[in-house]
Amino acid sequence: MPSYITNENLSSSQLAFCGAVAGVISRFVVAPLDVVKIRMQLQNHRTNFTFANGSSTSTVKYASIIPSLRTILKEEGIKGWYKGNLPAEYLYLSYSAIEFWTFNELEKFMERKQMTEKLPHSTKTFISGMIAGSVATTITYPFDLLRTRFAVQGDTKHYTGIFQAIKSIYSIEGIRGFYPGIRPAIVQIMPYMGLLFTSYDLLASCFQRLREKDILSSQYKGTHDMISGAVSGVLSKTAVYPIDVVRKRLQVQGPYLTDYVVRSTKYSSNSWWACMKLIVVNEGPRSLYKGLLPSLIKVAPANAVTFLVFEETKKLLVNRSEKT
């Protein structure tokens, strides 16, 4: 049985198109929050699991969402909210297209091999999402690296454009320079995308059954898809967030260290686990969740918009194919 995400009337290429459209639109909506999240992640002040006022954040530049947005706006203008947005748009477009194409191909492969009878539906969805996310992450990782480095540039502009940045990274760091942090990225994305697709499929399917029984109105299908996307995104992101912090730290270990990371702090790009332990020792366990709030505030609308646009684009293609 196909998942709620796919459609037997659409090809993998058509679903890839739906994903690309959804990725581009959702990225533009959440770009400012992404910049704030990245800058919070890269600050290496110590944080503790406490609600007391024992640890002051007066010296921390990016301590909370609204003040951080104001600081960036004041110092860098509206463009500061969208630093790294162009490579990020390329990332979201290509990532979403590859991801949904791969997911559909994997789902069809499991149907052909009659794995559906052997595996529970949720397990099949989890495996398809996990592999699809890994493939998309590996192929599009250089765009993620560029997005991060553009987002954390201060007054000194080491990278002035995408092609200049690619040329600079390749000439100084070689081909490996495009893949620092790829290991924690893969470690993170496997459970994240597996959980995201599985939870979205379960939630959206529940809403669908309620609509079929006339318990919920079909005219609110878009709202149901948005709720399913937002909830699944929050659950999945929270589960894997510490690995995302490690990935960001490793991504800025090039020849130009960001202004937002103490320059004496260096992490081995060959050991994401050692990096995680170093963060815990130097900054406290809670530091693995730096930037979590803006990340969740970002991921909820991002996934809500992504799945809403994906489903609406999918519906348009289905209606078009039925008319022809």
What pLDDT is recorded for position 115? Answer: 61
Please name the residues in contact with 281: beta carbons below 8 A apart, sequence gap of 6 or more.
none
Is residue 3 one of the residues assigned to a domain?
Answer: no
Provide the 8-state DSSP code for 6: -
More confident residue, 237 or 52: 237
More confident residue, 20 or 85: 20
What pLDDT is recorded for position 51? Answer: 40
Provide the 8-state DSSP code for 307: H
- The answer on pLDDT for 46 being more than 80 is no
What pLDDT is recorded for position 194? Answer: 95
Is residue 239 one of the residues assigned to a domain?
Answer: yes
Is residue 191 one of the residues assigned to a domain?
Answer: yes
Alpha carbons 15 and 310: distance in angstroms, whole number: 8
Contacts 24+ apart (CB under 8 A), 178-183: 178/141, 178/142, 178/145, 179/141, 179/142, 179/145, 180/145, 180/250, 180/251, 180/253, 180/254, 180/269, 181/145, 181/246, 181/247, 181/248, 181/249, 181/250, 181/251, 181/269, 181/272, 182/138, 182/141, 183/272
Q: DSSP 3-state assignment of 309?
A: helix
**% of residues, the chain, pLDDT over 70:** 87
Alpha carbons 288 and 134: distance in angstroms, whole number: 22
Is residue 16 one of the residues assigned to a domain?
Answer: yes
pLDDT in tens, 212-222: 999 999 999 99
Is residue 118 one of the residues assigned to a domain?
Answer: yes
First to last CA, the chain: 26
Residue keyed to tokens 């909210």: 81
Provide the 8-state DSSP code for 61: S
What's the whole-number mean pLDDT along residues 112-130?
82
The amino acid at 173: E
Provide the 8-state DSSP code for 79: G
- The answer on pLDDT for 62 being more than 70 is yes
Is residue 54 one of the residues assigned to a domain?
Answer: no
Q: DSSP 3-state assignment of 33?
A: helix
Is residue 296 one of the residues assigned to a domain?
Answer: yes
Q: How confident is the model at residue 264 (pLDDT cuts 50, 70, 90)?
A: very low
What pLDDT is recorded for position 270? Answer: 54
CB-hemisphere CA count at 13 Å for 242?
14
Alpha carbons 194 and 92: distance in angstroms, whole number: 18
Question: What is the distance, to the nearest Å, from the Cα of residue 39 to the centroid of all Cα atoms in its chain?
Answer: 15
CB-hemisphere CA count at 13 Å for 293?
9
Is residue 85 one of the residues assigned to a domain?
Answer: yes
Q: Count of domains in the chain?
A: 1
Q: How confident is the model at residue 52 (pLDDT cuts 50, 70, 90)?
A: very low
For 1, 159, 258, the CA distances from 153, given in Å and listed in that order, are 48, 8, 6
* Three-point CA angle 102, 192, 107, nearest 5°: 30
| CATH code assigned at 147 | 1.50.40.10
Domain region containing 295: 12-46+59-319
Alpha carbons 296 and 157: distance in angstroms, whole number: 29
Residue 30 tokens read as 């959440």
- The answer on pLDDT for 279 being more than 80 is yes
